[in-house]
Each structure stands twice: as C-alpha cells, then as structure tokens.
Structure 1
Amino acid sequence: MGRIAKTPTPPYYAVIFASERTEEDRGYGKMADKMVELASRQDGFLGMENANDEGLGIMVSYWDSLEAIQRWKENAGHQAAQERGKSGWYQSFALRVSKVESDRYFEI
C-alpha cells in the first residue's frame, strides 16, 4: 500500500483517528500492523493514510459506506484492539467520520 491512498471517485467516507500515545509500546506496533491487515480485508475498505510525530498519531481510513464503517467498528479483532488502546496505549484520542464530496490526487 502506498503512503497516500488512491481512493475512488467520491462520495465515500473518511474515518479520522487522532491519538496521543502513552510512553510504553507494550505490543502497540504489532497490533497496529495487525489492524491494517484486518481492515484491508474488510468489505468496503478503500485505503488508509497514517502519520506520527512525537506521540501524536493521525490515521485516516476510507470506506465506501457508513455501513462498512459500522461493520469495522463491530469487528471483534478491532474491538479488542480498541480496548487495549483505552486501557494502556492512549492518553487521549478523537474519532471523526466525514463524507468526502471532492478529492484530487496529483503525482509529480
């Protein structure tokens, strides 16, 4: 997967997850890789982008429908990762869902 997701013609949805991490890793990296793999096999998944800088992480995942986002939210493996995040990996986090009405992609 490239660093910038190549998404289809809108409309589609973006789930924006911003987080501040705790100091300890305790398996976070392995779980993050597992979640990328799991999400990429989920019906309705379109792509993902991720950036981290000094404890602040932003992950944007793209989905073809609100129903696909709901199925991802209810995925048992994803729910287990969420619980671990709440109990030890994150100091704080925010989750936002947006409908993408327009996009442009440029390669130079």
Structure 2
Amino acid sequence: MKYVVIFKAKVKQLDPEYFQTAQHLRDKALSQFNCKQFESIAENGFEIALSYWDSLEDIQAWHKDAEHQTAQGIGKEKWYESFSVEICEVLRRYP
C-alpha cells in the first residue's frame, strides 16, 4: 500500500443513517475502488478514519464517486462540525 488517506472529523451528531451510509461506502470503496484496507475509530466527539490505497488515481476516482459526493454533502450539513482529509505517501511500514 503506497498511500493512506487520513480523514479527521469533529462529530456533530451521528444517527442510524450515518452508520448505514458509512458501512455501505466502506464496502463500496473496498470492492469497487481498489481500497486495500479501512480502519476507523470514534471517541469523545472525534472520528479518525484511515484508508489505504495503491494509487492516487484510485483515490481520485473514489473522491469523484457520486454516492461518496452525496454522503460528503450530508456529512457537512448534518454529521460533522468540521473535517479534514490528508493524503500521505507510506514510506515504510512495520509489523
């Protein structure tokens, strides 16, 4: 895995729609967009999600996906007070 996308958010309010949408999009990224691994944690009003990818092209295709774009809009309006996304190159990985 050459790249990691780091999503960090300050949570406003998560509801059942959020959890259903998040699971669906996670499955879609893994099965249709070549995401290699996905992990997330939420605690004390913050969420961090890490997704691992082999190419910037796959990351860009995922970013442009219509369902993903719709969920981002809902997230801005409803689920998150703020969020940021960082794309980093993985130089080394230790077990």
1:78 corresponds to which letter in structure 2?
H
% identical aligned pairs:
36
2:21 corresponds to which letter in structure 1?
M
For the structure 1 residues 24 and 72, does the alpha-carbon distance in structure 2 shift closer, same or farther, using more than 3 Å as the test?
A: closer
Aligned length: 95
Runs of 4+ more than 6 Å apart: none
Counterpart for residue 62 of structure 2: 72
Separation (CA, whole Å) in 2 of partners of 1:38 and 1:80: 14
- Where is the helix percentage greater, Structure 1 or Structure 2? 2
Counterpart for residue 75 of structure 2: 85
**Please, what TM-score do these two structures have when normalized by structure 1?**
0.82
Structure 1: stretches of 5+ with no match in the other structure? 1-7
Rg larger in 1 or in 2?
A: 1
Structure 2: stretches of 5+ with no match in the other structure? none
**Please, what TM-score do these two structures have when normalized by structure 2?**
0.92
* Residue deviations 1:17-43 (CA, integer Å, cap 9, x gap): 001111352611111111111111133
- The alignment's C-alpha RMSD in Å is 1.3
